[in-house]
Chains A and B, each alone.
Chain A
Amino acid sequence: MIYDWLFRLTGSETAAAIIQSLLPLFLFILPFALFAVLLERKVSAHMQDRLGPMRVGYHGILQTVADIIKLVQKEDIVAKDNDRLFFDLSPVIVFTGSYAAFAVIPFSGIFLGSNIDLGLIYIVAVTGLVVAGILMGGWASNNKYSLLGAMRAAAQIISYEIPTLLIILVVIMVSGTLNLYTLSEWQTSYFWNWLILGGPVFGIEKLLFIPLMMMSALIIFTSTLAEVNRTPFDIPEAESELVSGYHTEYSGMKFAMFFLAEYANMFAVAAIVSALFFGGFQSPFGYLGDLFNLPWLIPIEQFFWFTVKGIFFVFVQMWLRWTLPRFRVDQLMTFCWKYLIPFAFVILIIVGLITVLV
């Protein structure tokens, strides 16, 4: 584990813990956000038969770096009637909420922020912090568009938490653990043992689980997509109706915090879907390290597969964003309460019966 190595390097538990908790931010989320913003612009451009940013660097690969430099230099505009304290606090709370989720996501066999038993539920819990932060920002902006956007965001995230939790319950019943690390280890490094294909236990229940798990994966992907407020579920920041939703009034670095939180959230959600149903950090067809007897290679391969799966799901999110039109508010709620939740309940009951009877 990286923690033991840091502990030997620094000789102090506190220092090792602090360095370990900062690692995902500086080594992963910031570079990922730079990459993802560029990817989003390139994907959208190519889907619309354009080229996207082309000027800064080869095919525009340094565009986001230039954007960040521009954002840092910008003036921080605060309107006179903004509620100063909560206006400043809101981006911090939103980012804390989305970063806190990374504490339990296993990046590789040797790197995991905190190996707590309640990983999955913990992620759901810290999402609550994001909701409160968004409401805080929308209210403190003292702007009708911001407040409407914040209300929509809160209502949406809370509604879509229910199907997410139900599917998490399904996974708990099949695997018997809430720990994301154990869950990834349990779905061994061969793709036919992943939960999407019924889990590693061979028998009649594996056959029965396959269609149910595929539906579950679809439901949890949809509902987590809604939780990060991405199109087709982006009514909280619908540009044509609400200017920019709850962060209309924000500028400069505070806006960048919201932006970073959104991309961190996208990756967190992708990582959760891949950890639940697609084996997490496990390779689909065994490890080269095992094949050539090089044990140090395995963690690097695991990190590679984790990143590839995460970026694949982030790509699917972008793909959907530039393919589907936006939902209306009532359609959004109908979709959650009348379709996703009943389907999730039926899957929950069937899986429960199968685990008890078979």
Chain B
Amino acid sequence: MTTYDIIFYLFAAVTLLSAFFVVTNRNIVHSAFYLLFTFFGVAGIYVMLGADFVAIVQLIVYVGGILILLLFGVMLTNKITNIEIKTDSINALPASIVLGLFTGALGAAVLNTNWKVVESPAPEATTTALGNLLINEYALIFELLGIVLLIAMIGAASMARK
């Protein structure tokens, strides 16, 4: 086992364990805090795969933005000092059937696929290439996505004004 493997398994363990705690914890604020470690672990795995820009954007958008927003949402919509929202499980039987089928399908797909194994080259910095692609080749899609986000923002602002 190389250092690379050890670091990979460390990040994988952090991601899986914290994700497990997110869904099983009964206190919603705890779940939100565990989500921090899930996002962090996923960012680590992106780095191991050589996707440096995606990893950093993952940290900025999910840890710096969405997680904080989620925490604010949870904290402001509850009685602040003693959190009362509890998560609970309902419809256990249908959920476990769907989950079982989904896991089976995924497992079968993973086991039966003929994976191509290639020696991966040393990862290079992706930022310049990504920037060139976004501004030159996919400029229209990029701008449209920006407009979609802008519309969401205008919608939220107009709803908040009412």
Contacts and interface: CB of A to CB of B under 8 A. Distances in A.
A128 B33 contact: no
13 contacts: A14-B3, A86-B30, A117-B127, A118-B52, A124-B64, A128-B68, A129-B63, A132-B71, A135-B68, A135-B71, A139-B29, A154-B72, A158-B64
A116 interface: yes
B52 A132 contact: no
B127 A118 contact: yes
A68 B81 CA distance: 33
Contacts of A142: 81
Interface residues of B, number: 24
A161 interface: yes
Given A116-B52, A128-B63, A158 B127 contact: no
A261 B58 CA distance: 24
Contacts of B3: 13-14
A142 B82 CA distance: 8
A127 B125 CA distance: 22
Contacts of B72: 151, 154
Given A125-B64, A132-B63, A158-B68, A118 B56 contact: yes
Interface string B46-76: 0000001100100110011101100110010
A336 interface: no
Interface string B20-45: 00000000011001001000100000
A304 interface: no
Contacts of A117: 52, 125, 127-128
Given A124-B60, A139-B29, 6 more contacts: A118-B125, A125-B63, A128-B67, A131-B68, A154-B71, A161-B64
A74 interface: no
Contacts of B71: 132, 135, 139, 154
A132 B3 CA distance: 29
A144 B56 contact: no
Nearest to B76: A151
B60 A128 contact: yes
A128 B59 contact: yes
A45 B64 CA distance: 37
A97 to B, nearest CB: 10
